[in-house]
A and B are shown apart, each in its own frame.
Chain A
Amino acid sequence: MTRTNGSRLITPVIVTLAGSIVAGAIAVGHTWGDALVAEIVTLVLAVGYYLVTRSNSDLGAIYGHRADERQREVLLRATRLAFTVMLGAAFLCTVISVALGDNYWQADLIGSLGGVVYIVGMVGYGAHETNGAVVERGIAASSVPPVDERDLDSPEND
């Protein structure tokens, strides 16, 4: 909870960098005027994010990188919802693009990448038995030695 003001700047800086990259791409592929508009929108968004990070709310704590365990769980649930919607949208875009005879590799790439990372994440996190949402400053479950099968038959476990 006690984070420096610097942590509040992380999200606005990331938004500014990402938006500037998009604006740069627009400058290359379109016009400088369009790129300027994109950059202005980016800066407005970055200021908006900064104002949110200053607020005393769950959203402010999450974007300000000072979330506690409940807020990290909120973030995890929101991320899961966003992923599900994005995967569904990628699937829909692929189907529509194929039906229209258009290029569909972009949507296919997003969907496939998301699906592969999802499976890799399940295998990886499952193997380490950690719960990213609620592990706080305690001992990570991955550092706990494996259960000796003989212990399972011990009368102490009854």
Chain B
Amino acid sequence: MSSNIYIMKNEVREQRRLRSLSQVELASELGVSRQTIIAIESGKYSPSLPLAFRIARIFDMPVDKLFDPELEAEA
């Protein structure tokens, strides 16, 4: 059985900077830690669906525009 490995790219950092929000402010708005925002922006952590939707709501844009799952490799 083969499984695909996806790397979730996102525009969270760009959108946050566009709105002049700091990582702390965004974290506070979302109710998560600043470390989690850093991990999401650097692509090291893919947020859960509820969190992804909350981020998209804050930036007022669709989730699939904010997060883009790119096929990295097949295992």
Quick one: CB contact mask for A123-157 with B, threshold 8 Å, 1 for yes? 00000000000111110000000000000000000
Quick one: CB contact mask for B32-61 with A, threshold 8 Å, 1 for yes? 111110010000010111110000000000
Check B45–A138 contact: CB distance below 8 A.
Answer: no
Check A136–B51 contact: CB distance below 8 A.
Answer: yes
Report if A70 contacts B (CB, 8 A). Answer: yes
The residues of A that contact B27 with a CB separation of less than 8 Å are 1
Report if A31 contacts B (CB, 8 A). Answer: no
Check A1–B33 contact: CB distance below 8 A.
Answer: yes
Check B33–A68 contact: CB distance below 8 A.
Answer: yes
The residues of B that contact A135 with a CB separation of less than 8 Å are 48
Quick one: CB contact mask for B2-18 with A, threshold 8 Å, 1 for yes? 00000000000000000
> Which residue of B28, B33, B47, B48 contacts A58 across the interface (Cβ within 8 Å)?
B33
**B side interface size, CB within 8 A:** 15
> Which residue of A56, A57, A61, A138 contacts B50 across the interface (Cβ within 8 Å)?
A138
| Chain A at the B interface: SS class | loop
Instruction: Tell me the complex Cα distance, A138–B35, Å.
Output: 22
Instruction: Tell me the complex Cα distance, A93–B62, Å.
Output: 55
The residues of A that contact B49 with a CB separation of less than 8 Å are 138
Check B32–A68 contact: CB distance below 8 A.
Answer: yes
Report if A2 contacts B (CB, 8 A). Answer: yes
Report if A34 contacts B (CB, 8 A). Answer: no
Q: Could you write out 5 A-B pairs with CB less than 8 Å apart?
A: A57-B35, A68-B32, A70-B47, A135-B48, A138-B50
Q: Find residues 60-89 in chain A having any chain B CB closer than 8 Å to their own CB.
A: 61, 68-71
The residues of A that contact B39 with a CB separation of less than 8 Å are 70
Check A69–B32 contact: CB distance below 8 A.
Answer: yes
The residues of B that contact A134 with a CB separation of less than 8 Å are 48
Q: Which residue of A lies closest to B44 (CB)?
A: A70
Check A1–B31 contact: CB distance below 8 A.
Answer: yes
